[in-house]
Chain A
Amino acid sequence: MEKRRAEGVHAEEDSAAGLHGTIQMPLEIRVHGRGGQGGVTCAKLIAAVYARTGLYVQTFGDYGAERSGAPVRAFTRVDHLPIKNRNKVYHPDHLLVLDSGLLGPLVLEGVSSGSVLLVNSTDSAESLADQFPSFKLGVIDATAIAREHGIGTSAVVIINTTIVGSYARMLDLPMAAVEYVYSSLGLSDDLAAAHEAYDSVVILPVRQPGGKGNPIAPVQVPIPPVLPQTEHCLDIPTTLQTGTWSSQTPSYQEYEAPCNRACPAGNDVVGFIQALKNDGPEAAAEVLLKTQPLPSVCGRVCPAPCMTECNRKFLDGAVNIRSLERWISGRAQVQLEKKQPLLKKDFAVVGSGPAGLSAAYHLTLEGHRVVVYEKMAMAGGVLRYGIPRYRLPDDMLHRDLDRIIALGVTFRYNHPLDRAGLLKLHDEYDGVIVCKGFGDAYAIGVAGEDLGGVEQGLDYLAGSKESIRQLGGTVLVVGGGNTAIDCARSALRSGASSVKLIYRRSREEMPAIAEEVEEACREGVQVLTWRQPVGFVGNKTVCGVVLAEVDPGPPGKDGRRTPVITDRTFELDCNTVLLALGQDRKLNLLPDSWRIEEARAWEEENPLNVWFAGDCRTGDGTVAHAIGHGRMTAYSALADIDTSPAAGYAEKVYKSVVAPAHIRFSHFPVIPPHSDRHRSVSSYQNNFEEVNLGLSGQEEAERCFSCGRCTFCDTCLVYCPDGVIYRTETGYRIDEAYCKGCGICVVECPRRAMEMHEK
């Protein structure tokens, strides 16, 4: 046969000689892809590469009305001689399949054993080799490479330029020719992907050689007689299953809401708000009480980190979650059912603060017997003795306590505990959970601290819960936490003519609840920031304080700037000083041979059934943290004691949290938050009535985005272009047989309750 060279091409001379010898001519190539993947261009690129080596080529697509994603074919012929055949390729020597989902009898039709088969697939080469042992097989995950190089869109990745690299490797085509072709077609940007595909294609030889000439038989598709148009008046439904077009598919997926993640108590915030919205306070309480034994308390005193994290604050203000909790607590009479465990255990809980109550509550809910040992005459700990009534009225505390008592928790009051007592409990009970709260309040450590009139704020607060203690003149409160604010506002209600709050950092850095600080200021408390007492002045009783100015220093470990006390001082008259500087976490209870690891007591190498929960362990200092830690400790204690599988308690694990960027703000009308109502009084003197009256209705629940959790809002249903989403008894169903994988439902979902994944 006369070997001629196609005219008008500048061949890659060196490689061409070898190429012409190794590949049998004429050569027929068939490419199978999906509309949008670039199958026709793929065939054209291959032709151009061969043309560059000096051969005659011919290439064309099988044009139809196919749309993005529909199966399409393209063909290339290569020969030493000008090509006269103008038909489609029925017996390809090389078969490229751009989507392994297409691999089937129709694609393989007419291919003989020994042929080259290059497949874009995420499957392993080995598994494909088992399927196609009689082919020379090349396997490449071109989609991953092309996606990495950003070729095409996420729904339709264009892989043609990538897979040609693998083809060049399989056929030993010179990459120089590929580079020439890409640059002449303006595709140089895609060369890196082609090179990567060149390097990473897995090539396997023919395993089961068979004689050439026994091609895979064509699929016999019965052709129905064509109905005359004049007789066509019947409704004949479609049979095309467009689900095969897509490479990705949507599904419903729950993501963690930022409020849920932020809640130290572990409350299902989204869950209870949606339950409130849809089914009312009783249903909401069912959800809330699963994690929250003290909703009446937290609904009033929680600093509500959930609200700080609420995604709605980026639209029109955070949802007033705390007050919704309060709303529920006041309107539901729900008592959860106790479980019936296989083995009932006996627990002792030391301390009836929020951590102790939480531990006792959850252990009881799990069906175990619990006795709470409280050193004081009544239950509640810091809730009873540390939080003033105007924030937490006694009857509100009792409402929560009564529910816990009604559940069956036994309380032993006036029962302080020492080392011997703890050892005794350890011997008597299956498990002991110590929740004794903080230790002693920190002293300030400056001259004049022991003068009369300088006292710990906590002592003052506990005292004023017994009976209102009249203060007079100027009261100075030192500190920036909730205790400090409570002291200041209580002092204002107890006869003080002026109350000043001294804090050594900025107002924004105060650990106290921001609304509480605002309230305090509104009531008349003066806040002096960047100040620190360096001495108290007085004769027996304090009559003044020396305040030093504080400069912000370099950032400390926690990121906050370290206060640097300067020598710029001034003196301020005062009659009473209340110190609210925090408390230590000394336990003073452990026998000498015990030590604590992972919140559990150990004696030498033996774990003891004694656990520690709440502020005595974590020092977080909020009711919500204490509740959360009490619950988690209770469950880990249960898991440690009872190793039967039934005892397992799993916290729900989410892939990720819903960020503001995931929320489709445009789907929500702007509605400003519903604020709490406040009692307005002319004077707070001697008035410890609750100031905050909470919400006037539950409309605020409507504002919840329900981040990450489907509300069956129908947005996906409305915007699915193909109408393949159907409502079911429990939610929605996506008909994957027809879903084209466009992803509109996922993008339009207002709250990230859906996700897209590769097929």
Chain B
Amino acid sequence: MNEPMLGGMIQTELDRSTPFLRSGNLNCGGCGMSNILQLLGHAIAEREVKLVIPACCGAITAGNYPQSTFDVPMILTTFASAASVATGIASVARLNNEDTRVICLAGDGGTYDIGLATLSAAAERDENILYICYDNEIYGNTGGQRSSATPAGASTMSTPKGKKEIKKDIVAIMAAHRIPYAATVSLAHADDGLRKMRKALDTSGFRFLHILSPCPTGWKSEPAMGIELVRLAVRSGLFPVYEVFHGDRYVINVEPDFSDEALGMYLSLQRRFRKSGMTEATLRPEIDRYWHGLRSLSGRIVPARRFME
């Protein structure tokens, strides 16, 4: 993170004149999704937007009828319907030559699990939709059960001893649809994130952003440490920050240091990894394996880990 790049991003003439996510919303303090919405608002600026949110914490964010928490017109849908409802909205917008960005904001449950078929179909049809998955790696709205985005070793209300299976690779799935743009976004790299959001907003066709979204309630972590946790996940290589164009051109945006220090810190700052005894050593091979694949996809002839112990 380069501090001068952060400056001038918000509350300037480039920003929207009113906050995208309004004060008085029902999100927990330190919610990563709130952070995403703030950043997204700065990226949207004065672009016209319609927002689609399926069942997830974001549905609560919208607040009580008839008050508006979002500064744009929005619709709340059933769990598996974000991409299909957005298809309808995007279609009508196109029929009427409206320059509207239709944005789906869905959790990992609505993306990786119940909404995957809908999402896949919309991506295959290359609908003109920006789909943002805020991934808190848990069914947060129901109190914290495992999803297929939950990482191995994390305890949830439905895997009290820790989940055994590794996290689904959603970006690979989306890239396999050959959509124009898919990217992962790190909240700890706000400048990179803002750039990708703007890029995604202004690309036509189906765009997918995967954002790791800290959940202090579900991760059993300090609310204040959310951004730092993302930073540690990026540094350690656990959360790769990259973008994929048309399913074949891979660009890695942030080089991790692959340090066990960062990985250990990431684990120890969350109580969800305690019971399974997940350690740096148990996680490292999978991270290396993933990066090996990513390196070959990105066409860079460098070792998966730049800094070997």
Binding site for B on A (CB under 8 A): 35-36, 65-70, 153-156, 227, 232, 234-242, 245-246, 666-669, 712-715, 717-724, 726-727, 735, 737-738, 740-744, 746-748, 750, 756
Which of A66, A721, A750 has the most CB atoms of chain B within a 10 A radius of its CB? A721
Q: Are B29 and A748 in contact (CB under 8 A)?
A: no
Q: Are B6 and A242 in contact (CB under 8 A)?
A: no
Q: Are A239 and B24 in contact (CB under 8 A)?
A: yes
Q: Are A67 and B60 in contact (CB under 8 A)?
A: yes
Q: Are B24 and A743 in contact (CB under 8 A)?
A: no
B2 contacts the other chain (Cβ, under 8 Å)? yes
B51 contacts the other chain (Cβ, under 8 Å)? no
Q: Are A232 and B3 in contact (CB under 8 A)?
A: no
CB-defined contacts of A738 to chain B, threshold 8 Å = 23-24
Q: Are B29 and A234 in contact (CB under 8 A)?
A: no
**Of B2, B10, B41, which one neighbours A717 at CB under 8 angstroms?**
B10
Q: Are A666 and B235 in contact (CB under 8 A)?
A: yes
Which of A237, A666, A719, A744 has the most CB atoms of chain B within a 10 A radius of its CB? A744
**Of A154, A245, A723, A726, which one neighbours B222 at CB under 8 angstroms?**
A154
State how many angstroms separate the Cβ of A232 from the closest Cβ of chain B.
5
Cα distance A668–B24 in the bound complex, in angstroms: 33
Interface 0/1 of B23-38, CB less than 8 Å to A: 1111111111011001
Cα distance A459–B39 in the bound complex, in angstroms: 68
Q: Are B26 and A721 in contact (CB under 8 A)?
A: no
Q: Are A713 and B66 in contact (CB under 8 A)?
A: no
B197 contacts the other chain (Cβ, under 8 Å)? no
Cα distance A449–B248 in the bound complex, in angstroms: 83
Q: Are B26 and A70 in contact (CB under 8 A)?
A: yes
Q: Are B224 and A721 in contact (CB under 8 A)?
A: no
Q: Do most interface residues of chain A lie in helix, strand or loop, or is the interface mixed?
A: loop
Q: Which B239-286 residues have C-beta < 8 A from chain A?
A: none
Q: Are A746 and B3 in contact (CB under 8 A)?
A: no
Instruction: Name the CB-closest residue of B to A668.
Output: B3
CB-defined contacts of B217 to chain A, threshold 8 Å = 36, 68
Instruction: Name the CB-closest residue of B to A721.
Output: B34
Closest 5 CB pairs of A and B: A743-B224, A740-B29, A742-B30, A238-B24, A721-B34
Q: Are B66 and A234 in contact (CB under 8 A)?
A: yes
State how many angstroms separate the Cβ of A315 from the closest Cβ of chain B.
13
**Of A735, A748, A750, which one neighbours B23 at CB under 8 angstroms?**
A735
Cα distance A235–B23 in the bound complex, in angstroms: 15
| Total A-B residue contacts, Cβ distance less than 8 Å | 160
What would be 11 A-B contacts, judged by CB atoms less than 8 Å apart?
A36-B28, A67-B28, A156-B29, A236-B68, A667-B3, A668-B2, A713-B4, A718-B10, A721-B32, A743-B222, A750-B3
B113 contacts the other chain (Cβ, under 8 Å)? no
State how many angstroms separate the Cβ of A585 from the closest Cβ of chain B.
47
Instruction: Name the CB-closest residue of B to A706.
Output: B3
Given known contacts A155-B223, A747-B228, is B1 in contact with A238 (CB within 8 Å)?
no
Given known contacts A239-B67, A242-B24, A747-B227, is B3 in contact with A153 (CB within 8 Å)?
no
Q: Are B10 and A237 in contact (CB under 8 A)?
A: no
Q: Which B7-45 residues have C-beta < 8 A from chain A?
A: 7-11, 19, 21-32, 34-35, 38-39, 41
Given known contacts A67-B26, A67-B27, A750-B3, is B68 in contact with A237 (CB within 8 Å)?
yes
B63 contacts the other chain (Cβ, under 8 Å)? yes
CB-defined contacts of A669 to chain B, threshold 8 Å = 2
Cα distance A719–B221 in the bound complex, in angstroms: 17
Q: Are A743 and B7 in contact (CB under 8 A)?
A: no
Q: List 19 additional contacts besides A719-B190, A719-B227, A727-B11; criterion CB under 8 Å.
A: A153-B216, A153-B223, A154-B222, A154-B224, A155-B223, A232-B66, A237-B67, A666-B188, A666-B235, A668-B3, A714-B7, A717-B10, A718-B6, A718-B38, A718-B39, A722-B25, A723-B21, A748-B227, A756-B224
Cα distance A717–B9 in the bound complex, in angstroms: 9
Which of B10, B30, B41, B187 has the most CB atoms of chain A within a 10 A radius of its CB? B30
Tally of chain B residues near chain A (CB < 8 A): 50
Instruction: Name the CB-closest residue of A to B27.
Output: A67
B156 contacts the other chain (Cβ, under 8 Å)? no
Cα distance A719–B226 in the bound complex, in angstroms: 10
Q: Are A235 and B68 in contact (CB under 8 A)?
A: yes
Q: Are B8 and A236 in contact (CB under 8 A)?
A: no
Cα distance A406–B201 in the bound complex, in angstroms: 63
**Of A66, A235, A667, A720, which one neighbours B38 at CB under 8 angstroms?**
A720
Q: Are A721 and B38 in contact (CB under 8 A)?
A: yes
Q: Are B29 and A741 in contact (CB under 8 A)?
A: yes
Q: Are B38 and A740 in contact (CB under 8 A)?
A: no
Instruction: Name the CB-closest residue of B to A702.
Output: B4
B231 contacts the other chain (Cβ, under 8 Å)? yes
CB-defined contacts of B68 to chain A, threshold 8 Å = 235-238
CB-defined contacts of A666 to chain B, threshold 8 Å = 1, 188, 231, 235
Given known contacts A65-B60, A227-B66, A235-B68, is B3 in contact with A715 (CB within 8 Å)?
yes
Q: Are B7 and A723 in contact (CB under 8 A)?
A: no
Cα distance A436–B190 in the bound complex, in angstroms: 58
Q: Are A744 and B224 in contact (CB under 8 A)?
A: yes
B69 contacts the other chain (Cβ, under 8 Å)? yes
Given known contacts A245-B29, A721-B38, is B7 in contact with A238 (CB within 8 Å)?
no
Q: Are B222 and A153 in contact (CB under 8 A)?
A: yes
Cα distance A741–B28 in the bound complex, in angstroms: 10
